[in-house]
Structure 1
Amino acid sequence: MVKPIVQDKGMDHTIDFLREGYFYFSKRMNEYHEDAVKSRIFGRKLVMLRGDEASNLVMDPVKFKAEKSVSELSPGFLSKENDVFYLADIDYYHKKEWFEQAFIAEKRKELESIIRQRWQERIEAWKTNPSINFATEMEEMWVIAVCNWMGIPIRANNLKKRTTDIQEFVQLFSKYGLNRWKRNQAKNRIEKWLVFLVRQLRAGGVHVDEDKLLYKLSWYEDESGRILPIKTVVEELLLLIRIFVTSSRWVVFSQLALIENPELKERLQMDQKYVNCFIHEVLRYYSIVPFSAAKTQEQFFWKDMFFEKNQLVLFDIYGTNHHPGKWSQPELFQPDRFLENNIAPDSVKDSVTVQLMKVSLSYLLRTDWIVPGQELTCRGTEIPARPKNGIHLEFYHEGFLEDN
């Protein structure tokens, strides 16, 4: 017997979505006590899904393909760590032959070393200029780090310009909807910059170490023995930059979690297992990319519900990570919930995103701040999510904890 998918009331819910942001999806599913609800946003019919079973469904490449209009929110990037879902993980690239060759364990250690160097530089700078916007600092630091690691030369006098463009490119969505014009302008500027670099590299006009990703990808040969077109090289570089820089938001939310839960800091400094619990709770609690989008490639039945071909489906990452049937008190930040999962201290090393969060947390735990009065809320209308005003801090002390 066919089970009808619950239909949200009303003709179109664009205004509700723009007002409520990504909380709209879980709010509606909680209201109907269903994990599948039909709606219409921006004039498009869609089905909202959440839950572990739904994640397995949308990641099925036979039944689904990426939705082109929001392709960067494709389920192909959906990752899972200890029952927590998140998007935009660098591990996606392990599916690509060129990346497997370039991103060996040694290169991961090099990336970690670069991140540590950038942290040490920032801490030294904060000693003389202690008043900072933490989110802005992390965005700039991550741009420098990823460019250093990939071998992309970036001049000091162009850093703020490049950072601004990359952040505009990273921002997929705002309260005004898809930022197509502003984002495309930034993307075009970054593309021109990268095209120039690749052409210069191939012509011998710029020197890049042969072990760097920019060099390896610029000279990578496909199965027929031909080097990749410059357009393809730039597309891969852009996607990798976006994934890396987006991960800086996890560091920002790690800092926010420490500010809002100061009682956790001492325990985190002493208990390595609890560090892993804290990181997974940050991933669960703060869903910086709250949903993934896909379109059905065929008609099929799932849990007695009928899905027609070319049906737009949104998988609610935020709602799954806050599912009242799965998580006890899901709206509370409680790292202790992961103590029962027996997370091994070294288990996070398999995930690049979590590995970099762990490195950054080691520096957050060795620094102290004065937190001026401010609004620390986050916009549910921006993807990736970001604290509304960026987190203003006054740096005043560096501890003496050893790096892990």
Structure 2
Amino acid sequence: MVKPIVQDKGMDHTIDFLREGYFYFSKRMNAYHEDVVQSRIFGRKLIMTRGKEALELVKNNTMLEPEKSIAELSPNLLTEENGICYLADIDYYYEKEWFPQVLTAEQRKELESIIRQRWEERIEAWKINPSIHFVAEMEEMWVIAVCNWLGIPIRANNLQQRTTDIQEFVQLFSKYGLNRWKRHQAKNRIEKWLIFLVRQLRAGRIHIDEEKILYKLSWYEDKSGHILSNKEVVHELLTLIRSFVASSRWVVFSQLALIENPELKERLQDDQEYVHCFIHEVIRYYSIIPFAAAKTQQQFFWRDMFFPKNQLVLFDIRGTNYHPDVWSEPEVFRPDRFLGKLSHIGTELSNESDSDKDSVTVQLMKLSLSYLLRTDWVVPDQALTCHGSEVPAKPQNDIRLEFYHEDFVKDI
């Protein structure tokens, strides 16, 4: 017997979606007490779903395929770790033929070293100019770091424009909906810049360290012995830049979590297991990428419900991470929920540590958290809210902070 899919009341819910952002999906499914609800946004029918079974469905490549218009939200990037769903980071690209040869263990160690250096520079700068906008600081720092790491030369007089363009490129949605035009313009400027660099490198007009990813990609030969085209090299560079810069948002929300839960700071300085619990709770609680988008390749029945061909399906990542049947008090930030339940606890993070077992995201979150715990702030009165219309998510009004001294505690 065919089970009808619950239909959200009303003709079109574009206004509701723009007002509520990605919270819209969870609110509707909670209201109907269903994990599958049909709706219409921007004039297009969609089925929104959540939960572990839905995760297995949207990752089934024979039944669904990524929605090409928003390929960055592909369900192929979805992963689950310790019950938390999120889009995979740079590690996902190990499936690409060139990736294992380009991103070696040494490259990961160099990335960690670069991030450490950038943090040390920022902390020194904050001693001179202690009033900062934290989100803007992290955006610029991560652009510098990823360019240093990839081997992309970036001039000081171009830094602000490059940072703005890369952040526009990373920002898939804004409060005005799908941010197509601004993102397209920013992407065009970045591509022209990178294509120019690749051409100059191949012509011998600029010199890049041969161990840098820009150099290795520019001269990488596929199985047939052909090097990648300029556009192919730039596409792969943009993929790495987007993944890396988007993951920096987790650092922003780690800082926000410390501001809103200051009582956790002392324990985080002494308890390595709790550091991992904290990081997993940040990923669960904030869900910077709130959903994945796919399209059915064929008609089929799932859980006795009919899915037609070419049907847009949205998997609600945030709703899954907040599912009331899975998480106790999901609206509360509580790292303790993971105590004794994590399947992997990494090694102590220090200059000599081996973080290869961690994803790149977790590796950088641990490293950055060690610096966040070394800094003390005065937090001016402000609204520390996150509007659901930003994807990747970020605090609505930045985070204004007054840095006043460095507490040299040991690294976590």
- What TM-score, normalized by structure 1, do the two folds share? 0.98
Q: How many residues align?
A: 404
2:392 maps to which of 362, 384, 387: 384
Aligned to 2:270: 270
Aligned to 1:220: 220
Instruction: Note the C-alpha offset of 1:88.
Output: 4.9
Instruction: Note the C-alpha offset of 1:378.
Output: 0.8
1:351 maps to which of 356, 359, 365: 359
* SS of corresponding position for 1:38: strand
Aligned to 1:236: 236
Aligned to 2:204: 204
Per-residue deviation, residues 159-201 of structure 1 (Å, max 9, x unmatched): 1110001011111001211111111111110000000001111
Instruction: Note the C-alpha offset of 1:133.
Output: 0.3
Aligned residue identity for 2:381: G
Contact 2:269 2:410 in 1 (8 A): no
In 2: Cα distance, 1:342 partner to 1:169 partner? 34
Instruction: Note the C-alpha offset of 1:210.
Output: 1.3
Instruction: Note the C-alpha offset of 1:277.
Output: 0.1
Aligned residue identity for 2:241: I
Aligned to 2:318: 318
Contact 2:64 2:296 in 1 (8 A): yes
* SS of corresponding position for 1:350: coil
Residue 66 of structure 2 corresponds to residue 63 of structure 1: no
Structure 1, 327-336 or 69-78: larger mean CA deviation: 69-78
Contact 2:82 2:342 in 1 (8 A): no
Residue 317 of structure 2 corresponds to residue 309 of structure 1: no
In 2: Cα distance, 1:78 partner to 1:217 partner? 26
Aligned residue identity for 1:129: N
Per-residue deviation, residues 136-159 of structure 1 (Å, max 9, x unmatched): 000000001111111111111111
Aligned residue identity for 2:100: E
Residue 395 of structure 2 corresponds to residue 396 of structure 1: no
Aligned to 1:297: 297
In 1: Cα distance, 2:211 partner to 2:305 partner? 51
Aligned residue identity for 2:360: V
Aligned to 1:258: 258
% identity of equivalent residues? 76
Contact 2:22 2:389 in 1 (8 A): yes
Per-residue deviation, residues 315-362 of structure 1 (Å, max 9, x unmatched): 000100000010000000000000030454317733111110010000
In 2: Cα distance, 1:181 partner to 1:344 partner? 42
* SS of corresponding position for 1:330: coil
Contact 1:277 1:343 in 2 (8 A): no
Contact 1:288 1:385 in 2 (8 A): yes
In 2: Cα distance, 1:233 partner to 1:62 partner? 29
Unaligned runs of 5+ in 2: 348-354
Contact 1:273 1:344 in 2 (8 A): no
Contact 1:368 1:398 in 2 (8 A): yes
Structure 1, 231-240 or 362-371: larger mean CA deviation: 231-240
Instruction: Note the C-alpha offset of 1:49.
Output: 0.8
In 1: Cα distance, 2:372 partner to 2:65 partner? 39
Aligned to 2:159: 159
Contact 1:254 1:282 in 2 (8 A): yes
Aligned to 1:22: 22
Aligned to 1:179: 179
Per-residue deviation, residues 289-333 of structure 1 (Å, max 9, x unmatched): 100101111222211111111110000001000000100000000
Aligned residue identity for 2:141: M
In 1: Cα distance, 2:216 partner to 2:62 partner? 32
* SS of corresponding position for 1:209: coil
1:361 maps to which of 369, 373, 377: 369
Unaligned runs of 5+ in 1: none
Instruction: Note the C-alpha offset of 1:87.
Output: 1.8
In 1: Cα distance, 2:212 partner to 2:97 partner? 16
Contact 1:288 1:384 in 2 (8 A): yes
Contact 1:172 1:179 in 2 (8 A): yes
